[in-house]
Amino acid sequence: MLGTKQLDVFMATFKPLLDEELRAQVEKLEAPKVIKQAMNYSLEAGGKRIRPLLLFATLDAFNVNPANGLLPAAAVEMIHTYSLIHDDLPSMDDDDLRRGKPTNHKVFGEAYAILAGDALLTYSFQLIGEMERGTASDETKLKLILEMAKAAGAEGMVGGQVADMDGENKQLALEEVEYIHIHKTGKLLAFCVIAGALMAEAEKEQIDLLAAFAHHLGLAFQIRDDILDVEGSEELIGKPVGSDKVNQKSTYPFLLTIEGAKRALNQHIELAKESLRKTNLQAQLLFEITDLIAFRNH
Protein backbone atom coordinates (compact mmCIF):
# COMPACT_ATOMS: atom_id res chain seq x y z
CA MET A 1 0.00 0.00 0.00
CA LEU A 2 1.27 3.44 -0.88
CA GLY A 3 -1.02 5.23 1.49
CA THR A 4 -2.26 7.91 -0.92
CA LYS A 5 -5.07 9.51 0.94
CA GLN A 6 -8.00 9.57 -1.49
CA LEU A 7 -7.60 5.91 -2.45
CA ASP A 8 -7.20 4.86 1.20
CA VAL A 9 -10.46 6.53 2.18
CA PHE A 10 -12.17 5.05 -0.86
CA MET A 11 -10.94 1.54 -0.05
CA ALA A 12 -11.87 1.90 3.60
CA THR A 13 -15.43 2.63 2.47
CA PHE A 14 -15.96 0.14 -0.34
CA LYS A 15 -13.86 -2.88 0.60
CA PRO A 16 -16.01 -3.66 3.69
CA LEU A 17 -19.16 -3.19 1.59
CA LEU A 18 -17.84 -5.66 -0.97
CA ASP A 19 -16.75 -8.17 1.67
CA GLU A 20 -20.20 -8.01 3.23
CA GLU A 21 -21.89 -8.34 -0.18
CA LEU A 22 -19.87 -11.46 -0.97
CA ARG A 23 -20.66 -12.99 2.42
CA ALA A 24 -24.37 -12.18 2.20
CA GLN A 25 -24.71 -13.48 -1.37
CA VAL A 26 -23.23 -16.87 -0.43
CA GLU A 27 -25.11 -16.99 2.88
CA LYS A 28 -28.51 -16.67 1.21
CA LEU A 29 -27.96 -19.65 -1.08
CA GLU A 30 -30.22 -22.61 -0.35
CA ALA A 31 -27.48 -25.16 -0.82
CA PRO A 32 -25.57 -27.82 1.13
CA LYS A 33 -23.57 -26.23 3.94
CA VAL A 34 -20.22 -27.61 2.83
CA ILE A 35 -20.36 -25.96 -0.62
CA LYS A 36 -21.20 -22.59 0.95
CA GLN A 37 -18.30 -23.02 3.37
CA ALA A 38 -15.93 -23.88 0.54
CA MET A 39 -17.12 -20.88 -1.53
CA ASN A 40 -16.77 -18.53 1.45
CA TYR A 41 -13.40 -19.89 2.52
CA SER A 42 -11.69 -18.67 -0.63
CA LEU A 43 -13.76 -15.49 -0.97
CA GLU A 44 -12.79 -14.56 2.58
CA ALA A 45 -9.12 -15.37 2.03
CA GLY A 46 -8.96 -11.68 1.23
CA GLY A 47 -6.58 -10.57 -1.41
CA LYS A 48 -6.28 -7.06 -2.69
CA ARG A 49 -9.78 -6.83 -4.21
CA ILE A 50 -8.09 -4.99 -7.05
CA ARG A 51 -10.80 -5.96 -9.55
CA PRO A 52 -13.76 -4.62 -7.55
CA LEU A 53 -11.69 -1.55 -6.75
CA LEU A 54 -11.11 -0.90 -10.46
CA LEU A 55 -14.83 -1.17 -11.13
CA PHE A 56 -15.76 1.15 -8.26
CA ALA A 57 -13.08 3.66 -9.23
CA THR A 58 -14.27 3.69 -12.85
CA LEU A 59 -17.83 4.42 -11.73
CA ASP A 60 -16.46 7.19 -9.52
CA ALA A 61 -14.64 8.70 -12.50
CA PHE A 62 -17.99 8.92 -14.29
CA ASN A 63 -19.66 10.44 -11.21
CA VAL A 64 -21.76 7.31 -10.73
CA ASN A 65 -22.22 6.06 -7.16
CA PRO A 66 -19.69 3.22 -6.78
CA ALA A 67 -22.17 1.33 -4.58
CA ASN A 68 -24.21 0.76 -7.77
CA GLY A 69 -21.41 -1.57 -8.81
CA LEU A 70 -21.53 -3.91 -5.81
CA LEU A 71 -23.15 -6.82 -7.64
CA PRO A 72 -20.89 -6.79 -10.74
CA ALA A 73 -17.89 -6.25 -8.44
CA ALA A 74 -18.92 -9.27 -6.37
CA ALA A 75 -19.42 -11.21 -9.61
CA VAL A 76 -15.95 -10.46 -10.92
CA GLU A 77 -14.36 -11.26 -7.54
CA MET A 78 -16.19 -14.61 -7.60
CA ILE A 79 -14.76 -15.33 -11.06
CA HIS A 80 -11.27 -14.37 -9.93
CA THR A 81 -11.66 -16.55 -6.82
CA TYR A 82 -12.95 -19.56 -8.78
CA SER A 83 -9.95 -19.27 -11.10
CA LEU A 84 -7.55 -19.32 -8.14
CA ILE A 85 -9.27 -22.38 -6.64
CA HIS A 86 -9.05 -24.31 -9.91
CA ASP A 87 -5.49 -23.10 -10.71
CA ASP A 88 -4.26 -24.31 -7.31
CA LEU A 89 -5.51 -27.89 -7.86
CA PRO A 90 -2.96 -30.73 -7.87
CA SER A 91 -3.49 -31.33 -11.61
CA MET A 92 -2.81 -27.63 -12.33
CA ASP A 93 -0.27 -25.61 -10.31
CA ASP A 94 -0.48 -27.95 -7.29
CA ASP A 95 -0.21 -25.18 -4.71
CA ASP A 96 -0.68 -25.85 -1.00
CA LEU A 97 -0.72 -22.21 0.03
CA ARG A 98 -2.57 -19.15 -1.25
CA ARG A 99 -2.26 -15.80 0.46
CA GLY A 100 -0.54 -17.60 3.33
CA LYS A 101 -3.49 -19.94 3.95
CA PRO A 102 -3.98 -23.58 2.91
CA THR A 103 -5.54 -23.73 -0.56
CA ASN A 104 -9.20 -24.68 -0.96
CA HIS A 105 -8.55 -28.31 -1.93
CA LYS A 106 -6.18 -28.72 1.03
CA VAL A 107 -9.08 -27.86 3.36
CA PHE A 108 -12.14 -29.24 1.54
CA GLY A 109 -10.63 -31.84 -0.77
CA GLU A 110 -10.30 -31.73 -4.53
CA ALA A 111 -13.90 -32.59 -5.39
CA TYR A 112 -15.47 -29.85 -3.28
CA ALA A 113 -12.82 -27.39 -4.46
CA ILE A 114 -13.73 -28.07 -8.09
CA LEU A 115 -17.44 -27.76 -7.28
CA ALA A 116 -16.96 -24.58 -5.22
CA GLY A 117 -15.22 -23.08 -8.25
CA ASP A 118 -18.03 -24.19 -10.54
CA ALA A 119 -20.62 -22.72 -8.18
CA LEU A 120 -18.81 -19.37 -7.92
CA LEU A 121 -18.50 -19.11 -11.70
CA THR A 122 -22.18 -19.91 -12.19
CA TYR A 123 -23.30 -17.55 -9.44
CA SER A 124 -21.35 -14.65 -10.94
CA PHE A 125 -23.67 -14.55 -13.95
CA GLN A 126 -26.71 -14.72 -11.69
CA LEU A 127 -25.50 -11.68 -9.74
CA ILE A 128 -25.26 -9.59 -12.90
CA GLY A 129 -28.76 -10.73 -13.85
CA GLU A 130 -30.01 -9.64 -10.41
CA MET A 131 -28.70 -6.05 -10.64
CA GLU A 132 -31.42 -3.55 -9.86
CA ARG A 133 -32.96 -1.71 -12.79
CA GLY A 134 -31.89 1.60 -11.31
CA THR A 135 -28.23 0.61 -11.60
CA ALA A 136 -28.29 -1.00 -15.06
CA SER A 137 -30.82 -1.35 -17.86
CA ASP A 138 -31.59 -4.80 -19.26
CA GLU A 139 -29.45 -3.92 -22.27
CA THR A 140 -26.52 -2.96 -20.04
CA LYS A 141 -26.84 -6.13 -17.95
CA LEU A 142 -26.69 -8.23 -21.12
CA LYS A 143 -23.62 -6.33 -22.31
CA LEU A 144 -21.96 -6.97 -18.93
CA ILE A 145 -22.80 -10.67 -19.14
CA LEU A 146 -21.36 -10.94 -22.66
CA GLU A 147 -18.19 -9.02 -21.79
CA MET A 148 -17.71 -10.99 -18.58
CA ALA A 149 -18.16 -14.33 -20.35
CA LYS A 150 -15.66 -13.33 -23.05
CA ALA A 151 -13.15 -12.09 -20.47
CA ALA A 152 -13.44 -15.24 -18.34
CA GLY A 153 -13.87 -17.97 -20.96
CA ALA A 154 -11.86 -19.74 -23.65
CA GLU A 155 -11.15 -16.43 -25.41
CA GLY A 156 -10.01 -14.86 -22.16
CA MET A 157 -8.87 -16.13 -18.79
CA VAL A 158 -9.33 -19.85 -19.44
CA GLY A 159 -7.49 -19.53 -22.76
CA GLY A 160 -4.64 -17.78 -20.95
CA GLN A 161 -4.42 -20.53 -18.36
CA VAL A 162 -4.33 -23.14 -21.15
CA ALA A 163 -1.54 -21.26 -22.94
CA ASP A 164 0.31 -20.95 -19.64
CA MET A 165 0.17 -24.70 -19.07
CA ASP A 166 1.06 -25.37 -22.70
CA GLY A 167 4.16 -23.23 -22.28
CA GLU A 168 5.45 -24.87 -19.12
CA ASN A 169 9.04 -26.08 -19.28
CA LYS A 170 9.37 -24.41 -22.67
CA GLN A 171 11.38 -21.35 -23.57
CA LEU A 172 8.72 -18.85 -24.68
CA ALA A 173 9.17 -15.69 -26.72
CA LEU A 174 8.07 -12.36 -25.27
CA GLU A 175 4.92 -12.25 -27.41
CA GLU A 176 3.91 -15.71 -26.16
CA VAL A 177 4.40 -14.59 -22.56
CA GLU A 178 2.32 -11.48 -23.27
CA TYR A 179 -0.45 -13.58 -24.84
CA ILE A 180 -0.61 -15.56 -21.62
CA HIS A 181 -0.79 -12.50 -19.37
CA ILE A 182 -3.19 -10.52 -21.54
CA HIS A 183 -5.58 -13.46 -21.44
CA LYS A 184 -4.95 -14.98 -18.02
CA THR A 185 -5.00 -11.70 -16.06
CA GLY A 186 -5.55 -8.76 -18.37
CA LYS A 187 -8.97 -9.51 -19.84
CA LEU A 188 -10.71 -9.77 -16.47
CA LEU A 189 -8.99 -6.62 -15.18
CA ALA A 190 -10.10 -4.86 -18.35
CA PHE A 191 -13.62 -6.13 -17.87
CA CYS A 192 -13.82 -4.30 -14.53
CA VAL A 193 -13.02 -0.97 -16.16
CA ILE A 194 -15.25 -1.65 -19.17
CA ALA A 195 -18.10 -2.72 -16.87
CA GLY A 196 -17.92 0.60 -15.06
CA ALA A 197 -17.93 2.47 -18.35
CA LEU A 198 -20.89 0.45 -19.67
CA MET A 199 -22.86 1.13 -16.50
CA ALA A 200 -22.10 4.84 -16.96
CA GLU A 201 -23.24 4.55 -20.58
CA ALA A 202 -19.93 5.95 -21.81
CA GLU A 203 -19.25 6.71 -25.48
CA LYS A 204 -17.37 4.08 -27.50
CA GLU A 205 -14.28 6.31 -27.73
CA GLN A 206 -13.97 6.52 -23.97
CA ILE A 207 -14.55 2.79 -23.58
CA ASP A 208 -11.74 2.14 -26.08
CA LEU A 209 -9.38 4.45 -24.16
CA LEU A 210 -10.29 2.76 -20.89
CA ALA A 211 -9.73 -0.65 -22.49
CA ALA A 212 -6.25 0.51 -23.59
CA PHE A 213 -5.63 1.80 -20.06
CA ALA A 214 -6.63 -1.56 -18.61
CA HIS A 215 -4.53 -3.46 -21.16
CA HIS A 216 -1.35 -1.70 -20.06
CA LEU A 217 -2.36 -1.83 -16.42
CA GLY A 218 -2.82 -5.61 -16.68
CA LEU A 219 0.62 -6.10 -18.21
CA ALA A 220 2.17 -3.82 -15.59
CA PHE A 221 0.43 -5.86 -12.90
CA GLN A 222 1.95 -9.07 -14.21
CA ILE A 223 5.45 -7.65 -14.72
CA ARG A 224 5.36 -6.35 -11.14
CA ASP A 225 4.29 -9.87 -10.06
CA ASP A 226 7.28 -11.39 -11.84
CA ILE A 227 9.66 -8.81 -10.33
CA LEU A 228 8.23 -9.47 -6.85
CA ASP A 229 8.78 -13.16 -7.38
CA VAL A 230 12.49 -12.43 -7.80
CA GLU A 231 12.87 -9.63 -5.27
CA GLY A 232 9.88 -9.82 -2.92
CA SER A 233 9.57 -11.06 0.62
CA GLU A 234 7.91 -14.44 1.15
CA GLU A 235 6.16 -13.14 4.24
CA LEU A 236 4.54 -10.28 2.33
CA ILE A 237 3.40 -12.12 -0.80
CA GLY A 238 2.28 -15.30 1.01
CA LYS A 239 3.88 -17.83 -1.30
CA PRO A 240 7.43 -19.12 -1.69
CA VAL A 241 9.59 -16.52 -3.45
CA GLY A 242 11.37 -17.78 -6.55
CA SER A 243 8.73 -20.41 -7.35
CA ASP A 244 8.54 -19.25 -10.96
CA LYS A 245 12.24 -19.96 -11.42
CA VAL A 246 11.90 -23.41 -9.86
CA ASN A 247 9.11 -24.18 -12.34
CA GLN A 248 11.26 -22.83 -15.17
CA LYS A 249 8.51 -20.46 -16.18
CA SER A 250 9.14 -17.83 -18.80
CA THR A 251 9.01 -14.56 -16.89
CA TYR A 252 9.76 -10.95 -17.75
CA PRO A 253 12.95 -10.82 -15.63
CA PHE A 254 14.09 -14.06 -17.29
CA LEU A 255 13.39 -12.72 -20.80
CA LEU A 256 14.41 -9.07 -20.29
CA THR A 257 16.70 -9.16 -17.23
CA ILE A 258 15.47 -7.57 -14.01
CA GLU A 259 16.40 -4.08 -15.20
CA GLY A 260 14.66 -4.62 -18.53
CA ALA A 261 11.54 -5.85 -16.72
CA LYS A 262 11.52 -2.69 -14.60
CA ARG A 263 11.82 -0.56 -17.74
CA ALA A 264 8.92 -2.45 -19.34
CA LEU A 265 6.88 -1.95 -16.16
CA ASN A 266 7.46 1.80 -16.29
CA GLN A 267 6.58 1.94 -19.98
CA HIS A 268 3.25 0.18 -19.44
CA ILE A 269 2.47 2.40 -16.45
CA GLU A 270 3.14 5.49 -18.60
CA LEU A 271 1.03 4.16 -21.49
CA ALA A 272 -1.78 3.32 -19.06
CA LYS A 273 -1.75 6.84 -17.64
CA GLU A 274 -1.60 8.40 -21.09
CA SER A 275 -4.77 6.55 -22.16
CA LEU A 276 -6.44 7.56 -18.94
CA ARG A 277 -5.55 11.23 -19.43
CA LYS A 278 -7.06 11.17 -22.91
CA THR A 279 -10.46 10.18 -21.49
CA ASN A 280 -10.68 13.64 -19.84
CA LEU A 281 -12.33 11.95 -16.86
CA GLN A 282 -11.75 13.02 -13.23
CA ALA A 283 -9.97 9.72 -12.72
CA GLN A 284 -7.81 10.44 -9.68
CA LEU A 285 -8.59 7.07 -8.10
CA LEU A 286 -7.69 5.15 -11.27
CA PHE A 287 -4.36 7.03 -11.40
CA GLU A 288 -3.70 6.10 -7.79
CA ILE A 289 -4.59 2.44 -8.44
CA THR A 290 -2.12 2.50 -11.32
CA ASP A 291 0.65 3.68 -8.99
CA LEU A 292 -0.45 1.15 -6.39
CA ILE A 293 -0.02 -1.64 -8.93
CA ALA A 294 3.29 -0.28 -10.20
CA PHE A 295 4.89 0.00 -6.79
CA ARG A 296 3.13 -2.61 -4.63
CA ASN A 297 5.39 -4.85 -2.61
CA HIS A 298 3.02 -7.86 -2.37
Which residues are near a second copy by CB under 8 A? Answer: 29-32, 34-36, 39, 82, 86, 89, 91-92, 109-112, 114-115, 117-119, 121-123, 125-126, 128-130, 138-139, 141-142, 145-146, 149-150, 152-155, 158-159, 161-163, 165-166
CA atoms within 13 A on the CB side of 220: 26
How many whole angstroms separate alpha carbon 166 and alpha carbon 170?
8
The letter for the amino acid at 162 is V
CA nearest to 225, candidates 177, 163, 271: 177
Nearest residue (CB) to a second copy, 3 versus 134? 134
Cα separation, 288 vs 4, whole angstroms: 7
Report how far Cα 108 is from the mean position of its chain's Cα atoms. 24
The CB-of-183 to a second copy minimum distance in angstroms stands at: 9
- DSSP designation for 97: E
SS3 at position 98: strand
Nearer to a second copy, 2 or 31 (CB): 31
Give the residue with the Cβ less far from a second copy, 100 or 153: 153
Query: In angstroms, what is the minimal distance from the CB of 35 to a second copy?
Result: 5
Nearer to a second copy, 175 or 235 (CB): 175
Q: In the complex, what is the shortest distance from the CB of residue 39 to a second copy, in angstroms, rounded to a whole number?
A: 7
Q: Give min distance, CB of 128 to a second copy, in A.
A: 8
Q: Residue 138 or 201: which CB sits closer to a second copy?
A: 138
CB 260 within 8 A of CB 272: no
Q: How far is the CB of 57 from a second copy (least distance, A)?
A: 26
Please say which residue, 141 or 296, places its beta carbon nearer to a second copy.
141
Terminal-residue alpha carbon distance, the chain:
9
- Least separation in angstroms between CB 123 and a second copy: 5
Say whether 123 sits in a helix, a strand or coil: helix
Q: Are 22 and 75 in contact (CB under 8 A)?
A: no
Specify whether the CB–CB gap between 252 and 220 falls below 8 A. Answer: no
